[in-house]
Amino acid sequence: MIARRGSVALSAAQFLADVRRVAATLPPARHVLNACADRYHFSVGFAACLVSGRVSLLPSTHTPEMMRQLRAFAPDVVCLTDEDDCSIELPRVRCAAAPQPAADAATLAVPQIDAAQLAAIVFTSGSTGTPVPYRKSFGRLIACVREEAARLGLPGHCTLVATVPAQHMYGFESSVLLALANGHALCAERPFYPADIAAVLGAVPAPRVLISTPVHLRALLASGVVLPPMELILCSTAPLAQQLAAETEQRCATRLLEIYGSTETGQIAVRRPTRTPEWTLWPGVTLSLEGEATWARGGHIEQPTRMCDVLQSTGEGRFLLHGRVSDLVNIAGKRSSLAYLNHQLNSIPGVQDGAFFHLEESRTTHTGVARLGACVVAPGLDAARVLEALRERIDPAFLPRPLLLVARLPRNSTGKLPQEALRSLAAAQGKTATVA
Amino acid sequence: MSDKVAPLRQPASPADAVTLTGEVAGLIVEALNLEIAAADIDPDAPLYGEGLGLDSIDILEIALVVSKQYGVQLRADSEDNERIFASLRQLVDYITAHRTR
């Protein structure tokens, strides 16, 4: 079987029949925005494009502005959707996956796809507001997720349940391609609430794999819902606090692996945070320091890519992640990074979530030294206690001024935490701030 | 007869509903650290998107608070989900019907 929806198994024969049906309904356009929310529909749509020589476009967002940019990039683009109330401003095609088993399914042969075929184009937001396209060939995508299956140590015939969308590079690789290329079953649903995640996991047979993010794992633990046994939990999109990783492994009695990658390169490294801070690279992928930037190339990477993170090589195929380049902090000659400081902050017992941020110019002192601010979620602790614990962990230069105790951090839908959002939160709370 | 214990899931009286509405509004404001007073939330305005302007992570946050406070585990795959978050009033109605504490 290739997929599941609830307790219903969807066979490879059904999938192939659906792929043929959807391919036949696509207009002559070469570019298809695959907006299907149901992961099975998405997979059928992706494969339908593959077998008909079309290219799937996977932008990071479906905002009207992004759709304008997409039309400029590919004027023939059509939108493949499975929703009645789809509001995407492109010519729309309904995904015609069959609700009933196909009668002639057993006779269908598995199509062969040329490794060099252009399978998908993904987009990053770019620094100037114009999305930057990255072309993904079928062979490299498949090589990457075949390696992933080995790296994750998955037994045969797992069922993959994911809380991330299929259109995001991490979800595309780990919830769709990982299943299709390795004989695992993908789950059509994208559960959201903790109880949904528990229900979807409970409806599928073992071995189960949960593909998720720090945000959803935090919610899962906080909810206290009972989860069925899992073979593995996979996490990506934002750094996972070591404490959360340990708690997740303990509560779920399973392994938690973290994936490192980018839209440009796809996934390139994995680690088990409770065992080692070191990441292990995919075979053939190398890192090199050029000037102040780290470049990744080789292996399944399509073109040499400048990474947005500070990566410190620690030996053949291994590295430490020291946070994003823009995370670097220099206060009065003392250097650190927001990632490092955040790690220390999140390691304090009682701190559920926390982040440092750069204050705007107007918040600097007469000496010209800009301090950092921090927002902390720590019910049960007061600001003085958090500061006291921080003082034991970091140089006094980095102690936050102000330290704001908040109910939650302004994470966006993928779990990332924009500095600007932190500053806005701090400005909003400014009058009630506890200043160190 | 006046001592009789109320059976489970007795329809809430209008007074109870008003109390619970204020309570849930307070929980939302507190959990999300909103810059408005609980009493200023329009019970009929949408919580998601326009209206209160909450995003999916906020909704997840509310779901956690509601489950802790009232023992109601929200589910997105129930047909009710869009209706539940259509407004504060709808959320309160759902909690009233499904609360276990």
The answer to whether the Cβ–Cβ distance between A195 and B56 falls below 8 Å is no
> What is the pLDDT of chain A when averaged over all its residues?
88
SS3 B33: coil
What pLDDT is stored for residue A397 in this prediction? 73
Residue range A3-322 forms a domain whose CATH class is: alpha beta
Interface test with B, best of A168, A192, A411 (most B CBs within 10 A): A192
According to DSSP, the residues that pair with A33 across neighbouring strands are: A57, A79
Q: Residue A435: is its pLDDT beyond 70? A: no
Residue A283 corresponds to which tokens in the numbers above?
């075979």
Q: Residue A270: is its pLDDT beyond 80? A: yes
Q: Give how far A285 is from chain B: nearest CA, Å.
A: 35
Residue B37 backbone phi and psi in degrees, to 5: -80, 145
Residue with tokens 């110019």: A361
Task: Please confirm whether the linkage preceding A207 is cis (ω < 30° from 0).
Answer: yes
Q: How far is CA A214 from CA A32, A257, A262, A301, A311, in A?
A: 31, 12, 16, 26, 21
ipTM score assigned to the predicted complex: 0.74
Q: How far apart are CA A308 and CA A182, in angstroms?
A: 30
Contact A357, A374 (CB under 8 A): yes
Amino acid identity of residue A372, one-letter, is L
Q: Which of A196, A407, A412 sits opposite B75 (nearest CB)?
A: A196
Contact A201, A188 (CB under 8 A): no
Q: Residue A60: is its pLDDT beyond 80? A: no
Contact A337, A358 (CB under 8 A): no
Residue with tokens 């528990």: A198
Digit-coded pLDDT (tens) for B9-35: 555 677 788 899 999 999 988 776 665
Does B64 reach chain A within 8 Å, measured CB to CB?
yes
Of A416 and A304, more confident: A304
Q: How far apart are CA A17 and CA A40, in angstroms?
A: 13
Residue A335 corresponds to which tokens in the numbers above?
């250097």
| DSSP conformational letter for A92 | E
Same topology between domain A3-322 and domain A332-435: no
The answer to whether the Cβ–Cβ distance between A407 and B60 falls below 8 Å is no
Contact A146, A183 (CB under 8 A): no
Interface test with A, best of B34, B64, B68, B82 (most A CBs within 10 A): B64
Interface test with A, best of B32, B36, B54, B57 (most A CBs within 10 A): B57
Q: How far apart are CA A255 and CA A173, in angstroms?
A: 20
Q: Which of A223, A411, A425 sits opposite B57 (nearest CB)?
A: A411
Rounded to 5°, angle at Cα A164 from A411 and A324: 45
Q: Determine how many CB atoms are found less than 10 A away from the CB of residue B38.
A: 17
Domain map (residue ranges) of chain A = 3-322, 332-435
Digit-coded pLDDT (tens) for A405-419: 999 898 877 777 888
Burial A74-87 (b: 16+ CB within 10 A, else e): beebbbbbbeeebe
Residue A69 corresponds to which tokens in the numbers above?
């940019």
Q: How far is CA A205 from CA A8, A333, A363, in A?
A: 11, 56, 55
Residue with tokens 């909003």: A428
**Residues of chain B contacting A216 with CB distance shorter than 8 Å:** 60
The answer to whether the Cβ–Cβ distance between A195 and B75 falls below 8 Å is yes
What pLDDT is stored for residue A395 in this prediction? 75
Q: How far apart are CA A321 and CA A188, in angstroms?
A: 33
Beta strands A8-10 and A31-34 are: unpaired
Q: How far apart are CA A76 and CA A25, in angstroms?
A: 16
Tell which residue, A234, A149, A215, has the closest CA to residue A184: A149
Task: Please confirm whether the linkage preceding A131 is cis (ω < 30° from 0).
Answer: no
Q: How far apart are CA A303 and CA A22, in angstroms?
A: 32
Q: How far is CA A320 from CA A17, A292, A416, in A?
A: 46, 16, 20
- Domain A332-435 maps to which CATH number in 3.30.300.30, 3.40.50.2300, 2.40.40.20, 3.40.50.300? 3.30.300.30
SS3 A305: strand
The answer to whether the Cβ–Cβ distance between B33 and A407 falls below 8 Å is yes
What pLDDT is stored for residue A133 in this prediction? 94
Digit-coded pLDDT (tens) for A64-112: 777 888 999 999 999 999 998 888 989 999 997 766 665 555 567 889 9
Largest CA distance in chain A: 78
What pLDDT is stored for residue B5 in this prediction? 46
Beta strands A118-124 and A132-137 are: antiparallel
Contact A169, A211 (CB under 8 A): no
Q: How far apart are CA A216 and CA A191, in angstroms?
A: 10
Q: How far apart are CA A77 and CA A59, in angstroms?
A: 12
The answer to whether the Cβ–Cβ distance between B63 and A413 falls below 8 Å is no
Q: Determine how many CB atoms are found less than 10 A away from the CB of residue A347.
A: 15
Residue A290 corresponds to which tokens in the numbers above?
């050029």
Does B35 reach chain A within 8 Å, measured CB to CB?
yes
Evaluated on CA atoms A166, A35, A108, A161, the torsion sign reads positive
**C-alpha dihedral (B73, A417, B87, B60), degrees to nearest 10:** 0
Contact A310, A328 (CB under 8 A): yes
Q: Can you tell me the mean pLDDT for A184-189?
A: 97
Whole-model pTM: value is 0.77
**Residues of chain B contacting A428 with CB distance shorter than 8 Å:** 35
Does B78 reach chain A within 8 Å, measured CB to CB?
no
Q: Residue A147: is its pLDDT beyond 90? A: yes
